[in-house]
Structure 1
Amino acid sequence: MNNVVLIGRLTRDPELRYIPNSGTPVSTFTLAVDKQLSRDKKQEMEARNQPTADFIRIVVWGKMAETCANYLVKGRLVGVQGRIQTGSYDDKDGKRVYTTDIVANNVEFLEWGDNNNRSSGFDSSGSDFPDIEGFHPIDNDDIPF
C-alpha cells in the first residue's frame, strides 16, 4: 500500500509547466509539514536553527495542476492525498542524486481568501470563494445540522 496524507503550508507559489508534445499540465510546490514536537523541544530546535518542519515536494498533474497554480499561494494551508514516488538522476558532475516526491491524487484547499486571517478561511458570504468549477458557496441556513 502506498498512500500519503499531509497537511501543511506552501513554502512558495506553485510552478506550472506543460509537458512538450502532449501539453499535459504539471504543477510542483513544496509543503512545510510541522513535526510533532513538544513546546520545549520545538523551542530548543528553533534556538539551534534546526528545522521544526519537513519540507516535502508535491507533484500535481492535469486539471488539478492548473487549479493549484491559479489559486494557491505561498503560506496557504492545504491537504494533500497521494503516493510516494522515488527516483534518481545523474547531476552535471556525474553524481547520482536520489529524489522522493509525493504525487498528489487530491489537493484540498483548507484556506481561502486573505491569508492574513488564517483561522477564518472564507467568510460566510462567500465573497472570497474563488470561481472554481464544481465549487460554490452555500447559505448556512441550507445545512441540515
Structure 2
Amino acid sequence: MNNCILMAEIVQDPELRYTPDNQTPIAEMWVQFPGLREEDPPAKLKAVGWGNLAQEIQQNYHQGEQVILEGRLHMITFDRPEGFKEKRAELTVQRIHRLGATGTLTTATAMPTAAPMPSVSSTSPTAGETTPKTKPAKAPTAVKPAPQPKVPAYSAPPAADPTDYDDIPF
C-alpha cells in the first residue's frame, strides 16, 4: 500500500494547468520539510493535485503556509537538457489540510455541519430588573476506567489424581 502523510511548508504558489486531451486541471506546487537531523537542509518535493482538488489547491493555498498532505509517493524519470536522465520523488495529493498559526488543523474538504443549537427565547428586562447572568458550564470530569481484576494470563487445569494407576501405560 502506498500512502504518504507529510507535514510541509509551501515554497512556491500552486500553478494550475490543464491536460491537452480532456482538459483535466492539474495543480503543481513545491513544498519543503525539515531534514532528519538539525544540520540537514530542508528537503523539497513536488506535490501534484488533479481534478477538483487541483482547482481547490490553486485557489486556497499559497506560499508560506504550513499544510499536511496525504497522497501517494512515486518516482518520475525525465531527461535533463544536459543529456542524462534524472529521477525525482513526486507526491500525488489526495487530501490537503491547512495548519493554523497555533498548530490547529483546518481541512480543505467539506465537513458535515453540527446540528444547530436550539434557540433560547429571552425577554428583555423591564425597568428595575437585571438581565439574568449565565453560569459557565462545568468542565466534564474525567472518567476513570473500572479497575480490572488481576487474572493470570493462563491458568493450568488442576492435575489429575496421581494415585490412580492404570495397568496399560497409554
- State the TM-score, normalized to the length of structure 1: 0.67
Aligned to 2:77: 88
The answer on 1:65 being equivalent to 2:54 is: yes
Relative to structure 1, the CA distance from residue 11 to residue 136 in structure 2 (aligned partners, 3 Å threshold; closer, same or farther) is farther
| Cα distance in structure 1, aligned partners of 2:26 and 2:62 | 16
| Cα distance in structure 1, aligned partners of 2:55 and 2:73 | 21
Task: Within 5 Å, give how 1:59-138 maps onto structure 2.
Answer: 59-111=48-100, 118-119=101-102, 134=110
Higher relative strand content: 1
Letter in 2 for 1:77: Q
Aligned to 1:28: 28
| Cα distance in structure 1, aligned partners of 2:4 and 2:103 | 26
Letter in 1 for 2:97: E
What SS is found at the alignment partner of 2:53?
helix
Deviation (angstroms), 1:100? 1.4
The answer on 1:13 being equivalent to 2:13 is: yes
Q: State the percentage of identical aligned residues.
A: 22
Instruction: Give deviations 1:3-29, integer Å, cap 9, x for gaps.
Output: 111011101211111111211011111
- State the TM-score, normalized to the length of structure 2: 0.58
Relative to structure 1, the CA distance from residue 104 to residue 94 in structure 2 (aligned partners, 3 Å threshold; closer, same or farther) is same
Higher relative helix content: 1
| Cα distance in structure 1, aligned partners of 2:32 and 2:109 | 28
Deviation (angstroms), 1:134? 3.2
Q: Which protein has the larger Cα radius of gyration, Structure 1 or Structure 2?
A: 2
**Greater relative CO, 1 or 2 (CA 8 Å, sep 6+):** 1
Letter in 2 for 1:31: V
Q: When the two structures are aligned, how many residues end up with a matched partner?
A: 117
| Cα distance in structure 2, aligned partners of 1:17 and 1:136 | 30
Q: Which runs of 5+ in 1 are unaligned?
A: 112-117, 123-128
Q: Which runs of 5+ in 2 are unaligned?
A: 119-139, 141-170
What CA RMSD, in Å, does the superposition of the two structures yield over aligned residues?
3.0
Deviation (angstroms), 1:136? 8.8
